[in-house]
Amino acid sequence: MKDNDSQLIYEAYGDEHNPPDNPGPLSSDVYAAMDKQDGISYLMSKYQGMGESQLRAHLYVLNELLEMSEEERVRATGEDG
């Protein structure tokens, strides 16, 4: 099953990973989708080799961070912007 970004790239060029040298009119949307897909693939690679308990721990932390306000998140992560 393809997600919307992969489908957009595939429909525009027939190949979700290799657009042509002369992109069509939707090229900005396609390249944005490819960048997003690359970013997600990069993040997924960071979890390679982790066991279920490690993945669940990361999921717990991410969910907690998402529930926080921006100010709370800055405090919790030690970042000052």
Work out how many domains the chain is built from and give that number. Answer: 2
Mean pLDDT of 53-77: 92
How far is residue 31's CA from residue 8's CA, in Å, rounded to a whole number? Answer: 10
Q: Is the pLDDT of residue 36 over 90?
A: no
Q: Are residues 80 and 63 in the same domain?
A: yes
Residue with tokens 């790239």: 9
Q: Are residues 58 and 37 in the same domain?
A: no
The answer for residues whose C-beta is within 8 angstroms of residue 20's C-beta and 6 or more apart is 13
Structure tokens at 14: 């027939």
Q: How confident is the model at residue 23 (pLDDT cuts 50, 70, 90)?
A: low
pLDDT of 1 reads 33
How far is residue 69's CA from residue 64's CA, in Å, rounded to a whole number? Answer: 10
How far is residue 43's CA from residue 65's CA, in Å, rounded to a whole number? Answer: 17
- Note down the domain range covering 66: 50-81
Mean pLDDT of 67-72: 92
Q: Are residues 42 and 54 in the same domain?
A: no
Ranges of H-type helices in 1-81: 4-13, 27-46, 52-67, 70-77
Q: Are residues 56 and 40 in the same domain?
A: no
pLDDT of 77 reads 85
